[in-house]
Amino acid sequence: MLYSVDFINELPGRLPFITETFAGFDDNYLGLMAWQKLQKVAFVPVIGGVHYGKLTRVTRGMRNSYLGIKSRTALWENMRYRYHTLFRLYKSRLYLMARLGLLNDSLRRGIFDGFKLAEIVREKAGVIDLERAVHVEFPRSYYLARALIPGYSSMTNRDMHIKYLRKYIKYPDWLVR
């Protein structure tokens, strides 16, 4: 991810990552923080070397679901948005299910560790308020076609997003036809 230098200087420790986080969670969190502060962010794929797949983290089984639920719980806990009250109900249900032992051990640990991680990230980087972020409205016909026509999203997704986001994002020449 590419951020502006001014945005990096506003971050805790002036680093483009959060040291207590893991496996892409900090990229998602910092990207949402930049969006909230009306910063332009670009994701640029760079061939930087050889990637040895599956050597940094386990991608199968319970370990992957543990990391996923941990990061989602921490992210949802630290975001304020229109449907945040619904998340509180969902969080209460998850917490109750975990306390009653209705979830397996990996998911239960992920939920509780996600709440702990949310507190750490909240102290260090703050809360994301998506009500202040810029929202781009897509036409209602797009969502209707997406719901009714199988495969419509994958056929038109790239072109629709480039068409409507072109005024907000400068795309590289090779991406735009």
For residue 176, the model assigns a pLDDT of 52
- Cα separation, 117 vs 111, in Å, equals 10
- What are the domain boundaries of the chain? 5-44+58-132, 136-177
For residue 66, the model assigns a pLDDT of 80
For residue 55, the model assigns a pLDDT of 54
Q: Determine the straight-line distance between the first and last CA of the chain, rounded to whole angstroms.
A: 23
Sequential pLDDT tens for the chain (177 residues)? 666 777 777 777 777 677 777 766 777 777 778 777 777 666 665 555 555 555 555 555 556 678 888 888 888 888 887 767 777 787 888 888 888 888 888 888 888 888 898 898 888 878 888 777 666 666 677 667 766 666 665 555 555 555 555 555 555 555 555
